[in-house]
Structure 1
Amino acid sequence: MSENELILKIERLRRELNALVLEMGTMAQAVLKKSMELDEVLNQYNRLTKRRNERVRHVFVGKFPLGKVFATPGVMEATTEADRISALTRHIGGDWGEVDEFDKRSNDQALADGFRILSAYTSADGVKFWIITEHDRSVTTLLLPEEY
């Protein structure tokens, strides 16, 4: 289960647990069972995020700073870490991916003039996604086109 799926499940179980407590009180068997179910999902989430936080962070050096890098839930679900790292490496190196010639020239000009940079890539599984670095180079976001 992905991190986002776990978060949604945690939120749902919390709502269900609160409703049960209001209906039955804290000592009911159903409340205890729901609480244990929530604990297990919280433990899954903690194990997942601990593994993620223990991974080596990547350092990207290229033609411009990326700033803080964010990825939307959709792109995290639809692409692999290898897809995202490959695309970020290409993006910061000035390989704008699958944008048209006008956008390639616009990105090249944006390097000099400090405008937003947009690249487009396709994952190994055929999922199209974008990378946008803001004009001030403070933030870079990976996202699916439909999340724009």
Structure 2
Amino acid sequence: MSAYPITLSQKDIHIIHALHAQREFIPQLDEGRHHELMRLVEQAATGRSGIKSLAKSPTVSLYDAVTVNDFSAPASNTMVCRIVLPHEADLDAGHYSVLAPISIALLGRPVGATVTLDAPGGSRQLRILSILKGEPVA
């Protein structure tokens, strides 16, 4: 993943805990990714990273539009992705489930962070260029 600290808002932690509690009722959810996401929340909540305060620089949260540069592509490639709840995912619109490898790698990281993720197509290196704070998908 990444050496950058993970900083999550109380709201995101609450939503992720609620999603985790309902995982048995949502058949398309991957149990392994749930555990990975819960480890991320635990890192933020135990103080190894942090819970977001208003004084800190922005970090990636649910519903944010995140512009990243994919350094592993043949030519450096910029894309925008939005992290959403699983039922809101729409890859054509750039909306990635919070359980997708890219979302787990980006969630809680600040602008400028470079993250490594293992995706179905192989390992990828992404740098967070900007974060546009968002609201739930309509």
Shorter-chain TM-score: which interval? under 0.3
- Normalised by the size of structure 2, how large is the TM-score? 0.27
| TM-score computed with the length of structure 1 as normaliser | 0.26
Q: In proportion to residue count, which structure has more strand?
A: 2
Q: Which one has the bigger helix percentage?
A: 1
Q: Which has the higher contact order (CA 8 A, sep 6+)?
A: 2
**Larger gyration radius, structure 1 or structure 2:** 1
